[in-house]
Amino acid sequence: MVEFLSYGFVQRGLLAGSLVAVSCALLGVFLVLKRLSLIGDGMSHVCLTGVAVALLTSTGPVYMSIPVVMLSSLGIMKLTQKFKIYGDAAIGIVSAAGLSVGLLLTALAGGFNTDLLGYLFGSILTVTTGETWLCVGLLVTVAGGVLAFYRLLVATCFDEAFAHTRGIPTQLVNTILVLITSVAVVLSFKVVGIFLISALIIIPPVSALLVSRTFKQVLWLASGFGVGSVWAGVYASFVLNIPSGAAIILINLCFLFACYVGSKKVRRD
Amino acid sequence: MQEVIAARGINFAYTRVPVLENISFTVQSGDYVGLIGPNGGGKTTLLKVLLGLEKAKGEVRLFGTPLAHFTDWHKIGYLAQKSPVAQSRFPISAEEVVLMGLPSSHALRVTRAEIREVYDAMQKTRTREYAGRIFNDLSIGQQQRVLLARALVSKPQLLILDEPSTALDAKSREMFFDLLGELNTHFHTTILLITHDTGEVGKYISKFMYVDKNLVFFGTKEEFCHSEEVARKLGPFAQHTIDHLHNQHGHCPLGATCQECRHG
Ligand SMILES: Nc1ncnc2c1ncn2[C@@H]1O[C@H](COP(=O)(O)OP(=O)(O)OP(=O)(O)O)[C@@H](O)[C@H]1O
Ligand SMILES: [Mg+2]
């Protein structure tokens, strides 16, 4: 364990992974309660377009994907609001568009190569110093935002119409939430891979919601599950020589199962 | 007298079918207005337009300020017809829900003054005893009373209530309407209330507004009871119930054929 932790790339991977996991968990709590959690799924598919564009133009996939995913997330919001399409359908449409454009561009770029596989399945140990700093910025923004606007966020998630009648700019709150989620999604694809990003946004909050009695408890627990799963997952992948992204999500599923069993017990008592 | 709500030429449609057409009216400070009309007549939609929850053609002024520039939201208490998203087990207690009715604050900690106001409001709607329970675990009627407390907690000068009593039992309903009556008479609170229960609410209300896409009628209770247009829309019976049960007005639109009058 000590030896494992002595590598610089391991330290960087764990640090970036923890930062991203906490950010995703905090954002996820609000998205799950707003029934918008699948937005992470849609955005992660759009990442493929971003990555493909980066491969085509030989730019950094992370830096290329951030604007692409932000734009598409605004597209999802506009689709839901202007055309009254159900939220899940709007997400499905944007997700399909992201995947197909991504696949098309990938083919143009010369098909699947090892780089691309790394993005699809995650490669936490290749996180760069620059990306780690981005993760620090993300967590500071998310945690700072939750602290500064706690009541406003909870009110908007619970009852948007009423929040509006308290003078809360609910539209703006939603837009900012979705934009920050875009950044979190992009930074997550290094950690768990494009296919599993949404799991990092959905599973820790759902586990926490099962056993918590207060909103603050949910935020703490979800963050804890996120960080715990990254550490345990990376360690398991090191010892058992399995893909780290898959290990992280499987450990999250174990937490979920434990919470489910725990919630049954609590209810019976 | 101050104009609390002024609406001019409101036109609104969700799709292509118009839901509200050319609606204009003024609610004065101290009015207690019963908004009535058939299902789908556009009552809920009208309230949403007044609060800026739906954008409509026309002009709305709240307390003299155009809606787009209105910021004094603590002057308004609102209760929607639909309860907020309640499927997921939102981990929030009844008292935290009521707290949301106070002006939005950035502080993490809840102040003593805020707690006092929350408990005062919960006392009024008899919800103190389950202040600490999780909102989603409460029964529908209990939830409605918590939401009423949330509408009252900022001590609003204008209450906008969309069928606030549908889930209340007889005793709670009576207490609730007594409370509204008291707010209206003692504190001069303006009330705009949607209801289908014209007979029961008739004794408290001072004005009626009948909306069925158009503003069919807007006037005092006395005028309502003798409006031929309303009689055509509602049948004389609804007017009669109000007139007869609560007004001692003597005049019954049904005349000698009326069962109630002969028994009464
Ligand atoms: N979100 C919506 N999208 C599309 N149409 C809607 C929407 N909400 C209401 N409508 C339509 O607008 C019309 C007016 O609805 P509204 O809810 O305002 O009626 P209401 O008078 O409040 O009825 P009720 O007495 O049943 O509460 C109805 O025909 C309804 O079908
Ligand atoms: Mg209605």
> How many residues does the structure list for chain B?
264
Q: How far is the CA of A84 from the centre of ligand 1 (A)?
A: 15
Identify the bridge partners of residue B234 per DSSP, sorted by sequence position: none
- Nearest Cα to B154, choosing from B101, B204, B206? B101
Q: What is the pLDDT of residue A107?
A: 84
Q: Which fold has domain A2-262?
A: ABC transporter involved in vitamin B12 uptake, BtuC (1.10.3470)
Contacts of residue A250, defined as CB under 8 A and 6 or more positions apart, other chains included, come to: A233
| Closest CA to ligand 1's atom 19 | B40
Alpha carbon of B44 to ligand 2 centroid (Å) = 4
pLDDT at A110 over 90: no
Q: What is the mean pLDDT of chain A?
A: 87
Residues of chain B positioned with their CB less than 8 A from the CB of A212? 91
- Judged by CB atoms closer than 8 Å, whether chains meet at B103 and A33 is answered as no
- Residue whose Cα lies nearest atom 3 of ligand 1: it is B14
Task: Give the pLDDT mean for A22-39.
Answer: 90
SS3 (DSSP) at A112: coil
Amino acid, res. B231 = A
Is a pLDDT exceeding 90 seen at residue A26?
A: yes
Determine contact: A151 vs chain B, CB below 8 A.
yes
Contact assessment for residue A215 and residue A35, using Cβ atoms and an 8 Å cutoff = no
* Rounded alpha-carbon distances, angstroms, from residue B147 to A162, B77, B102: 10, 10, 12
CA distances in angstroms from B150 to A126, B47, B98, B144, listed in the order given: 51, 18, 4, 10
**pLDDT one-digit tens code per residue, A173-205:** 989 999 999 999 998 888 888 878 888 999 999
Structure token digits, residue A11: 């330290």
pLDDT tens digits, residue range B55-112? 999 999 999 999 999 999 999 999 998 877 655 678 899 999 999 999 877 777 889 9
DSSP characters over A166-189: TT--HHHHHHHHHHHHHHHHHHHT
Residue A237, pLDDT score: 87
Can you tell me the distance from the alpha carbon of B126 to that of B137, in angstroms, rounded to the nearest whole number? Answer: 17
Determine the Cα–Cα distance for residues A26 and A201; give it in Å rounded to an integer.
Answer: 8
Residue B103, judged by CB atoms within 10 A of its CB (0-12, 13-18, 19+), counts as exposed
CB A99, CB A48: distance < 8 Å: yes
Give the residue with greater pLDDT, A254 vs B173: A254
- Per-residue pLDDT tens over the stretch A200-249: 999 999 999 999 989 999 999 999 999 999 999 989 988 898 888 889 99
What's the pLDDT at A85? 67
pLDDT < 50 stretches in chain B: 249, 262-264
Domain parsing of chain A, residue ranges: 2-262
Would you place residue A86 in the very low, low, confident or very high pLDDT band (cuts 50, 70, 90)? confident
pLDDT at A52 over 80: yes
- CB of B214 closer than 6 angstroms to any ligand 1 atom: no
| Sequential DSSP letters for B212-231 | ESEEEEEEEHHHHHH-HHHH
- Nearest-CA neighbor of A234 among A242, A244, A224, A225? A244
Minimal Cα distance from B84: which residue of A? A159
Which strands make up the sheet holding B57-62, listed edge to edge? B18-28, B3-13, B57-62, B65-66
- Measured from the Cα of B41, ligand 1's closest atom is 21
Largest separation between any pair of C-alpha atoms in chain B: 66
pLDDT value, residue B264: 42
Q: HSE on the CB side for A147, CA within 13 Å?
A: 7
Q: What was the pLDDT predicted at A222?
A: 97
Query: A71-85, A107-121, B123-137 — which one is most confidently predicted on average?
Result: B123-137
pTM to 2 decimal places: 0.87
Amino acid at A72: S
How far is Cα A77 from Cα A96, in angstroms, rounded to an integer?
16
Token pair, residue A64, equals 């290329």
Residue B79 DSSP class: E
Instruction: From B93, B11, B114, select the one nearest B55 (Cα to Cα).
Output: B11
Residue B81 falls in which region: left (phi positive, over 0), alpha (psi -120 to 50) or beta: alpha
Judged by a CB distance cut-off of 8 A, whether residue B186 touches chain A is no
Q: Which residues pair with B212 in a beta bridge?
A: B214
Band the pLDDT of A269: cuts 50, 70, 90: low
CA A256 to chain B, closest CA, distance in angstroms equals: 16
- Nearest residue (by CA) to ligand 1, atom 16, is B42
Q: What is the pLDDT of residue B86?
A: 57
d(CA A140, CA B3): 47
**Helical (H) or strand (E) element with B208:** strand B207-212
Q: How many residues does chain A have?
A: 269
Judging contacts by C-beta atoms under 8 Å, the chain A residues touching residue B106 are 148-149, 151-152
Between B51, B74, B84, which is nearest A159 by CB? B84
CA B209 to each of CA A108, B31, B41: distance values in angstroms, whole numbers, following the listed order: 65, 12, 12
What average pLDDT score do residues A71-80 get? 84
Interchain CB contact of B88 with A (< 8 Å): yes
CB-ligand 1 contact for B43 (6 Å cutoff): yes
At residue B222, the pLDDT reads: 76
Q: What is the pLDDT of residue B157?
A: 95
